[in-house]
A and B are shown apart, each in its own frame.
Chain A
Amino acid sequence: MTRLTCPFCGPRELCEFEFHKTVPAPGSVDEYARTYLRVADAHLSIEHWQHVGGCRAWLQVQRNPSTGAVLAIDMLAGEPR
């Protein structure tokens, strides 16, 4: 993975983007769980990134952390943080 495709800007160099965090486990209502616990899945990582060196959009990126393949990129919207 050396590029991400920003839904707004198109394909851009990876160094324009910053990863922030992986999303918490679905259904973790507890503030502690939402803040600290992470989903570990060898084949799917759902992550928040920002296109800081571009349009500054916040993105939800789905990747396969075992291969580096990008599975989907969407604008972040309405997600629990």
Chain B
Amino acid sequence: MSAAPGFARRYSAWSLLRARFAGPGYWRPLWSGRRLQPAYDVVIVGAGGHGLATAFHLARDHGIRRIAVLEKRLVGYGNVGRNTTIVRSNYLLPENHYFYEDSLRRWETLSRDLNYNVMYSPRGVVDLALTDDAMPALARRGNAMRLAGIDAELLDLAALERFAPELAPRRKRRFPLAGALLQRRGGTVRHDAVAWGYARAASALGVDIIEDCEVTGVSATGNAADGVETTRGHVKAGRIVFATAGHTGLVGAMLGTPLPIETHLLQAMVSEPIKPLVNSVFVYVSPGHGETYICQSDRGGLVMGGHLDGFPSYTREGTWHRLEDVVQGALELFPCIGGVKILRQWAGTNDMTMDGSPIMDRLRHDNVFVNAGWCYGGFKAIPASGAAFARFVATGTAPDLIRAYRLSRFATGHMLDEPGYGPFPVRL
């Protein structure tokens, strides 16, 4: 059932040494150079993290040979390369924390599985509480995690101070800190490496990754889809997978199926590099400013993000006032970085569902699958999503891990509304 990718060049310190003497010609393309074939068993739309991981697992775990990943622009050009690189499984609802824990366990070994260093850095994810009143909600979540076998610790102020002295938890602030929920195994992963690592591994298993190939429609005979229309012509497909984060609402419109999705912008930003200061991932929600999360990349840049820009957009151009919010939140946590400069700002388009949880289901046709609606959480979900969705696509049955992510849950009332915001991506 499982086949190891047949890499042209296996990566190791040894390979670097050989390349040093052989010159750059020693290296081989990670994925490029494939030609689009007229027909495939599975066509995956979107060469982002989810699409590539699904392709990898279809090929490796299910022995499907003829797979294409069609990408409108470039491998990894969407959200997989635009997020704030955080991975964690500190979710409240069992449907979510078992899924994200499966993902986190895969992150732990992914570099070896892909023979590509994705730089999984378990530096701890710290969800901060501003008041003692907020601690029970963190405890509820942490206890649920612990019962599920997931690591979690509740830090009171003294423990928080020991764990994160850089935060100076006792410093006087407009909104004081009371404690935190810590997941030590949470942390960061080098985002681009995930796309490239999966693309390389999938390619080594024979998957065709075709860039600059936009899918414009789905062709169907009767109730079954039989292929996709692309900017490079019609491609026959036995099964079709959409993994088009940021555009899934439009895919739904293309298929005539409105979805419980609004597409919003989420900004991220990075500072100029500085020597290590922030040693974990901190998540801070303050009244008025909303959310700020901050961590420091291995290159030294402070990577920050916040909440949505606040209205639907496909522009990928964030607004300055949201940047202000995030920076104000970051300065609340670390007043010492006032003189550090923001170097780059960018945005991604997020498919926000009406309960904040993803949708992994069939769409319109029995052989059309959609993997979507990851809201803010898509990056950390990639390894589990790829494995589980591949199984769904290969067997036609959704594995238990993702069964709760069915589309019908909104109609039946089985929403997975982790924060309790209801059917509004932007809380009123």
Contacts and interface: CB of A to CB of B under 8 A. Distances in A.
A35 B250 CA distance: 19
B97 to A, nearest CB: 24
Contacts of B313: 65, 68
Size class of A's contact patch?
A: 20 to 34
A71 interface: no
Give the dominant DSSP class at B's interface. Answer: mixed
Contacts of A20: 424, 426, 428
A28 B424 CA distance: 17
Contact of A32 (B319, B321, B410): B410
A40 B411 contact: no
A45 interface: yes
Size class of B's contact patch?
A: 20 to 34
Contacts, number: 74
Given A32-B411, A42-B314, 15 more contacts: A14-B319, A18-B426, A21-B426, A35-B354, A36-B260, A37-B258, A38-B261, A38-B262, A41-B253, A47-B311, A49-B311, A65-B313, A66-B314, A66-B315, A68-B313
20 contacts: A2-B319, A2-B321, A14-B319, A14-B321, A19-B310, A19-B312, A22-B262, A28-B258, A32-B411, A35-B354, A35-B423, A36-B354, A36-B410, A37-B259, A37-B260, A41-B253, A42-B250, A45-B312, A49-B311, A67-B315
Interface of B: 249-250, 252-253, 258-263, 310-315, 317, 319-321, 354, 410-411, 423-424, 426, 428
Interface of A: 1-2, 14-15, 18-22, 25, 28, 32-33, 35-42, 45, 47, 49, 63, 65-68
